[in-house]
């Protein structure tokens, strides 16, 4: 291949190729290449080898640059998509957190009184339970003690699980009650309503039994007095009543509820059965508060008998008939209230 052929055929082709747009990403590198001093000199003095070398080297640089710029663009687009996804995830996390917070506040307000009652039970029961654990350890050696907070949570989950089994599934909304009470007694509890219902669903079922701790508290009260077992039983009955509204009123559900009431009733200070709509009125007839003890009920009844006994009004038909009516009310109230009393066996 002669130099003349290189000058007349190859070099013009290469120089023309540099002007094809596909070899350049932007106008700037194209202008740079076409005005490259080595290429211009080589073209003028007739050194085709140098011209070709510079031309192809420049083309390679352009192609690499184009690939680099394309990769940079793709990387920027990928980063933008990633940042968008991260923003969407963060927005969703904040939305869920805001919803859960509002949910917890709503359930806390709805069940505030019941949750506060259990908070008091945990506060009062913890030192007594610790004493019982220490006594068990002294008597039996090594003893795996369980915090009373966990005992209460265990008992409540047992109640919800047994009721759910009778209901053939955890009902919608039960998690609200679970969340409200557990969130009040356990500062580290932050489950959503959905997670609370899942926890009940996954809880291992066992037969209906007396909540743990009541018999132990009653034994302590036999030595030292107090009414912690009664307050605790009352709280469990209140929880049972609150949960009942979420379950279907079926024979199975009512049977389980009745079994719990039967187990808890002996521990109540006044033996009053849960969910009795008439007791409040009957206590009013006897001029008593619903939390009156057995002795107070009997004493009030005796006093009212002395006041309204019809024999006191012989000779006055009007007062005699009035006394008979009042005694009927007093006797009915007394019999109804006392029907709820049942001595522990």
The helix (H) or strand (E) run that includes residue 301 is helix 294-308
**Residue-wise burial string across 98-108, b where 16 or more C-beta atoms lie within 10 A, e elsewhere:** eebeebbeebb
Return d(Cα 296, Cα 282) in angstroms, integer. 14
**pLDDT one-digit tens code per residue, 24-46:** 444 444 444 445 555 555 556 55
Return d(Cα 82, Cα 98) in angstroms, integer. 24
pLDDT at 111: 83
pLDDT at 27: 45
Return d(Cα 114, Cα 106) in angstroms, integer. 14
Burial class (CB in 10 A: 0-12, 13-18, 19+), 50: middle
Residues lower than pLDDT 50 in the chain = 1, 3, 5-7, 9-11, 13-14, 16-34, 270-275, 343-345
Return d(Cα 313, Cα 317) in angstroms, integer. 8
For the entire predicted model, the pTM comes to 0.54
Q: Quick one: which of 341, 171, 319 has its CA closest to 266?
A: 341
């Amino acid at each position: 291949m002669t130099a003349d052929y290189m000058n007349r055929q190859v070099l013009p082709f290469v120089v023309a190729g540099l002007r094809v747009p596909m070899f350049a990403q932007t106008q700037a590198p194209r202008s740079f290449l076409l005005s490259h001093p080595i290429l211009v000199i080589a073209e003028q003095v007739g050194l085709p080898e140098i011209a070709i070398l510079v031309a192809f080297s420049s083309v390679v640089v352009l192609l690499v640059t184009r690939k680099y710029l394309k990769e940079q663009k793709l990387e920027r687009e990928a980063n933008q998509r990633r940042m968008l996804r991260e923003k969407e995830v963060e927005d969703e996390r904040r939305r869920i957190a805001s919803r859960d917070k509002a949910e917890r506040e709503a359930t806390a307000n709805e069940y505030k009184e019941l949750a506060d009652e259990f908070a008091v039970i945990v506060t009062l029961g913890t030192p007594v339970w610790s004493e019982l654990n220490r006594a068990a350890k002294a008597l039996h050696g090594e003893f795996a003690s369980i915090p009373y907070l966990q005992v209460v949570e265990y008992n409540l989950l047992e109640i919800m699980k047994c009721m759910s089994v009778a209901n053939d599934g955890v009902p919608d909304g039960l998690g609200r009650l679970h969340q409200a009470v557990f969130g009040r007694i356990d500062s580290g509890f932050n489950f959503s309503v959905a997670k609370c219902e899942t926890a009940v669903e996954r809880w291992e079922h066992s037969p209906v039994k007396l909540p743990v701790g009541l018999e132990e508290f009653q034994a302590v009260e036999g030595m030292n007095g107090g009414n912690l077992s009664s307050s605790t039983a009352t709280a469990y009955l209140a929880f049972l009543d609150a949960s009942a509204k979420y379950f279907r009123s079926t024979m199975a559900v009512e049977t389980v509820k009745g079994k719990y009431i039967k187990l808890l009733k002996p521990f109540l200070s006044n033996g009053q059965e849960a969910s009795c709509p008439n007791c409040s009125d009957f206590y009013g007839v006897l001029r008593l508060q619903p939390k009156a003890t057995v002795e107070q009920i009997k004493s009030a009844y005796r006093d009212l008998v002395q006041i309204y006994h019809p024999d006191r009004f012989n000779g006055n038909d009007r007062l005699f008939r009035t006394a008979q009516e009042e005694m009927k009310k007093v006797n009915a109230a007394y019999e109804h209230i006392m029907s709820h009393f049942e001595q522990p066996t």
